[in-house]
A and B are shown apart, each in its own frame.
Chain A
Amino acid sequence: MGSGFSLFPEQASTLAPRVDNLYFFIVAVTAFFAVLVSVLVIVFAWKYRTSDPLAVGEHIHGSIPLELGWSIIPFVVAVVIFGWAADVFFDLQRPPDQTIEIYSTAKRWMWKFQHVDGQSEINELHVPVGRAVKVMFTSEDVLHSMFFPSFRVKADAIPGRYSTVWFTATKIGEYHLFCAEYCGTNHSGMIGKVVVMEPAAYQSWLTGALGAGSISQRGEQLFNDLACNTCHLSDGQGRGPSLVNKFGSSEELTDGARVMVDEAYVRESILRPQAKLVAPYQPLMPTFQGLVSEENVMALVEYIKSLRSSGGGAARTGAPAPRAAAPETRENR
């Protein structure tokens, strides 16, 4: 980052070389066709030039084999590119099972990152080298887009939805973070950096930058403050369903459909509780739209994720299921 003039971006993630190899392949294929056509046009224009306005060209009207050839060959080439690109795309879109999870909210004009253990930072993101990192984020106002050029990943931050990017950094250093979706006045100032560190250095950074408790602890506090705990009793006897062991499960809705309890569903259920109601509960829950910030919604999501008990029903009393410290990977669902 800031390393002066260059013509090609650094490759600093496991996926970067894969994206670049695909890019080089397409550039080579397209350059071949560009050169082929250009050379033919120049050669023809030179070879068959005339200054006699009465001259006429040969009577050639076309050729079916040629037409088929230059339809089918480019099509086959296109399908190869398509397939390769789709393969890379799947890997860009699907994070591995074991990741470090980081929450982020975008708003004009800053990026806020929250590590699960409570450290939060603005326009800077510290990550360890060699470990898969998944950033889950949304926007509090307009569209933004989280773009790490050196990792070759990007996704729009969309208000009302969760997006993710994931990467495994391969090189220690500092790299650009850009907002890639136009968001108004200071769009080009909505930039930052990602700091890739040795795992040990990352570990000590984490402890050094400790915030006010983990995200799920903050979520638990909110869960009590917003009186969620009056209905969502852990023993299932409340007016709302127990939330223990709910995250990652599949629930039946009042209309008979099933829904996967993921981050987006939990968020939607907080902000628009009536949208997808779990059977057989009544639509009693008030909406928290406008009452909880996106950051706090994320804290609640993280708390609900942590409600994993091995049967007892003690979760609500405050002890989240034992969980490894942040730098340790943990299961993602």
Chain B
Amino acid sequence: MASIASPVTAPRVTYLNHEHGVASWLLTKDHKRIGLMYLVVVTFAFFLGGLFASMIRLELATPAGDLLSADTYNKMFTMHGVAMVFFVLIPAVPAILGNFVLPLMLGAKDVAFPKLNLLSWYIFVIGFLFTVYAMVAGGVDTGWTFYTPYSSRASNSNVMMTGIGVFITGFSSILTGLNFMVTIHRMRAPGLTWFRLPLFVWAVYATSLVQILGTPVIAITVLALAIERGLHFGIFDPALGGDPVLFQHMFWFYSHPAVYIMILPPMGAISEVIACFSRKSIFGYSFVAFSSLAIAIFGFLVWAHHMFVAGISVYSALVFSFLTYAVAIPSAVKTFNWTATMYKGAIWLKAPMIWAIAFLALFLIGGLTGLITAALGVDVHIHDTYFVVAHFHFIMVGGAIMGFFAGLHYWWPKITGRMYSDIWAKVAAIIVLAGFNLTFGPQFILGYLGMPRRYHVYPEEFQVLNVLSSAGASILAVGYLLVGIYLTASLFKGERAGPNPWRATGLEWTTQSPPLPHNFDVQPIVTQEAYEYTRRKITVS
């Protein structure tokens, strides 16, 4: 490795080896161990969701419904969405990377409420178990959006059990957000003022705001659905005197901001990676920081753009379309600032930077196609078609998952103390980028042609594009498996990373890798801005 220190030896005491046994993990209050425990559950959920996605793409390789029955197919896309949204995308960056690096970045011993942090993990796992049970015991077929009155009246699948799972998991998200917010307010090292914080911290802060304010609404929505389904109390079903569109308002009031729970933290990780591998201060620090808050706040005001053809008035559609364009601006500002950060940098093209550039490429397409879906006159045509499917996968997979991988590759040496194969990581990034574009690129064309989403059987003229998409999905799967292989291999064979293999700024790089159980030997004191890259060797405390 290109690390500067001569032969790196393994640190003697780390958070990984100071205690042993299952109980030392299950009862830990160490934010680093809890982060890893989230990684295990989320990885499992990712495989589960990926398996469902593979079934969808296999079925859609032919126009006829010849692999799965219609009901099974409907369960596949529903469970794909539920697993990926609630158990991968929402927890991936905040709960895994946030848990691990946030206290380290702040120079803190742990989060503000370590026991609450452990409780959050248990709540998450219990919610996940309910959901997995619902999947195993027959599945659920409402779509991850649970639209009424189908979900409350017509569906014969495990709606209640899935709803309970989502309901419970929400509390994990709320408590994690609360914990992080208090941690950022109260646990910063001396000298670490708000405007010296790494941008990842700003992103996590903005995310926490959304988690705390938004998640209770999905809990209420799911509860109301359960009351209607179980007790026949009319809330959403017009046959019982309810209003089905009310459900959509409530659902999207959370689920749109939830997109920002998914994408803001990866954006934060991208800011870290781009600054580090450009060896430069991030361009327009305060604009990037405040754009996170702007996205979090505006994100609450755009929910009805999911409902332009769902019977809302023409004038409310106008307002929500306009606000949607407003929320696009801070995302554009971030993208321009990342690009400008690379200008006159000293760009070190290591694997995390390659993943970050792949993120930029995909997020750019995801964000810009959002301008198309937000356009009222066009959205009428493309709403509920594959165009929308492609758009949100570019954001949620191309953006959030690529950003997660960029962050994971960046902090992996810190987390494990080991280096992975740089070349394989670059190869995987390129395979994923290519596979992703081949999977979802054709779906834009399919959508504009008019192919509706959630179709088990489709007209023959759509087959060519669907076959391309399915082929891309198999390439994508190879890319993801490759990541799993070389990261696992690095645990056994990887070179020792040393405290700061990337020569990055940031307090997390001043302690050993893997870090001490209590993070730092001495309380770090911060005397400079974030991302002050200079030629002098960065000191290791």
B-binding residues in A (CB < 8 A)? 1-9, 18-19, 22-23, 26-27, 29-30, 33-34, 37-38, 40-41, 44-45, 48-63, 66-67, 70-71, 74-75, 78-79, 81-82, 84-94, 108, 141-143, 145, 147, 149-150, 152-156, 158-161, 163, 176, 178-189, 191
- Which residues of chain A are within 8 angstroms of B477 by Cβ–Cβ distance? none
Q: Which residue of B lies closest to A47 (CB)?
A: B347
The reply on B40 being an interface residue by CB < 8 A is no
Inter-subunit contact A143/B147 (CB<8 Å): yes
Contact A41 B360 (CB under 8 A): yes
Which B residues are CB-close (under 8 A) to A56?
279-280, 346, 533-535
Q: Is the CB–CB distance between B376 and A85 below 8 Å?
A: yes
Residues in B whose Cβ lies below 8 Å from that of A159:
149, 237-239, 244
- B495 at interface by CB-CB < 8 Å: no
Choose from B4, B283, B374, B380 the contact partner of A60 (Cβ within 8 Å). B283
Bound complex: CA A71 to CA B71 (Å): 47
Closest CB in chain B relative to A55 CB, distance in Å: 4
A37 touches B336 (CB 8 A): yes
Distance between Cα atoms of A178 and B378 in the complex (Å)? 17
Q: How far does the alpha carbon of A135 sit from the alpha carbon of B112 in the complex, in Å?
A: 59
| Contacting residues, chain B, for A142 (C-beta < 8 A) | 147, 149-150, 153-154
Q: 1/0 per position for B27-38, CB-CB distance to A under 8 A?
A: 000000000000
Query: Which A residues touch B449, using CB under 8 A?
Result: 6-9, 149
List 3 A-B pairs, minimum CB-CB distance, nearest first: A149-B450, A88-B377, A160-B238
Q: Which of the 9-residue segments B116-124, B171-179, B321-329, B514-522 touches chain A?
A: B321-329
Q: B49-79 interface mask toward A, CB cutoff 8 Å, 1 = contact, 0 = none? A: 0000000000000000100001100100000
Q: Are A183 and B150 in contact (CB under 8 A)?
A: yes
Contacts of A30 in B (CB 8 A): 368-369, 371-372
A residues near B239, Cβ cutoff 8 Å: 159-160
Asked whether any CB of chain A lies closer than 8 Å to the CB of B458, the reply is yes
A-B contact pairs, 16 of them (CB 8 A): A3-B461, A22-B377, A26-B378, A41-B361, A45-B353, A48-B347, A51-B348, A85-B374, A88-B376, A93-B314, A142-B147, A159-B239, A178-B452, A185-B70, A185-B71, A187-B456
Q: Which residues of A have CB within 8 Å of B283?
A: 60-63
Chain A residues lying within 8 Å of B385, measured Cβ to Cβ, are 180
Tell me, yes or no, whether B448 is within 8 Å of chain A by CB: yes
User: Are A89 and B380 touching (Cβ within 8 A)?
Assistant: yes
Query: How far apart sit A53 and B4, CA to CA, in the bound complex (Å)?
Result: 8
CA distance A92 to B376 in the complex (A): 10
Question: CB distance B349 to A49 under 8 Å?
Answer: yes
B-chain residues with CB within 8 Å of residue A191 when the two chains form the complex: 459
Are B284 and A2 in contact, CB atoms less than 8 angstroms apart? Answer: no
Count how many chain B residues have C-beta atoms less than 8 Å from C-beta atoms of the other chain: 100
**Most-contacted residue by chain A among B2, B238, B361 (CB, 10 A):** B238
Contact of A147 among B70, B287, B384, B461 (CB under 8 A): B384
A98 to B357, CA, bound (A): 55
A82 cross-chain contacts in B, Cβ below 8 A: 321-322, 325, 374-375
CB distance from B322 to the nearest CB of A (A): 6
Chain B residues 1-54 with CB under 8 Å of chain A are 2-4
B374 contact set on A, CB distance < 8 A = 82, 85
Pairwise interchain contact A53-B310, C-beta atoms closer than 8 A: no
B143 at interface by CB-CB < 8 Å: yes
Residues from 419 to 468 in B contacting A, C-beta threshold 8 Å:
445, 448-450, 452-461, 463-464
CB distance from B324 to the nearest CB of A (A): 9
Picked from A6, A60, A84, the residue with its CB within 8 Å of the CB of B343 is: A60
Please give, as numbers and ranges, the residues of chain A lying within 8 Å of B285 by CB-CB distance: 61-62
A152: chain B residues within 8 A (beta carbon): 380-381
Given contacts A145-B309, A149-B450, A153-B380, contact A81 B461 (CB under 8 A): no
Tell me, yes or no, whether B187 is within 8 Å of chain A by CB. Answer: no
* Distance of A184 Cα from B148 Cα, bound (Å): 12
Cβ of B333 under 8 Å from chain A: yes
A160 in contact with B342 (CB, 8 Å):
no
Check if A66 sits within 8 Å of B377, measured CB to CB: no
User: Known contacts A44-B342, A149-B449, A187-B454: does B364 contact A38 (CB below 8 Å)?
Assistant: yes
CB of B524 within 8 A of chain A? no
How long is the Cα–Cα vector from A95 to B200 in the complex, in angstroms? 50
Q: Does the CB pair B325–A81 fall under 8 Å?
A: yes
* CB nearest to A148 among chain B residues: B450
- Given A5-B463, A55-B535, A159-B238, 18 further pairs, Cβ under 8 A: A4-B461, A26-B378, A37-B364, A45-B353, A56-B534, A57-B347, A59-B280, A78-B328, A84-B377, A89-B318, A92-B380, A93-B314, A153-B381, A156-B309, A161-B238, A176-B459, A182-B74, A184-B155
**B450 touching A9 by the CB < 8 A rule?**
yes
**What is the chain A residue whose CB lies nearest that of B343?**
A44
Residue of A nearest to B4 (CB): A53
Q: Which residues of B contact A8 (CB under 8 A)?
A: 448-449
CB neighbours (8 Å) of A3 from chain B are 461
Chain A residue with minimal CB distance to B275?
A57
Query: If A37-B360, A82-B375 touch, does A158 touch B245 (CB 8 Å cutoff)?
Result: yes
- Give which listed residue, B153, B371, B380, contacts A81 with CB less than 8 A: B371
Flag B223-256 by CB within 8 Å of A: 1 or 0 each.
Answer: 0000000000000011100011100000000000
Q: Which of B342-393 contact A (CB under 8 A)?
A: 342-349, 353, 357, 360-361, 364-365, 368-369, 371-372, 374-381, 383-385
Shortest distance between the CB of A139 and any CB in chain B (Å): 9
**A66 touches which of B318, B340, B372, B383 (Cβ 8 Å):** B340
> Whole-angstrom distance between the alpha carbons of A110 and B456 in the complex?
16
When distances are taken between beta carbons in the complex, the residues of chain A under 8 Å from B349 are: 45, 49
Cβ–Cβ < 8 Å partners of B183 in chain A: none
CA–CA, A241 and B55, complex, Å: 59
B284 to chain A: which residues have CB within 8 Å? Answer: 61-63, 66-67
CB distance from B84 to the nearest CB of A (A): 17
Closest to B321 in A: A82
A44 contacts across to B, CB distance below 8 A = 339, 342-343, 345, 347
Chain A residues contacting B474 (CB-CB under 8 Å) are none
Q: Which residues, 279 to 306 on B, are CB-close (under 8 Å) to A?
A: 279-281, 283-287
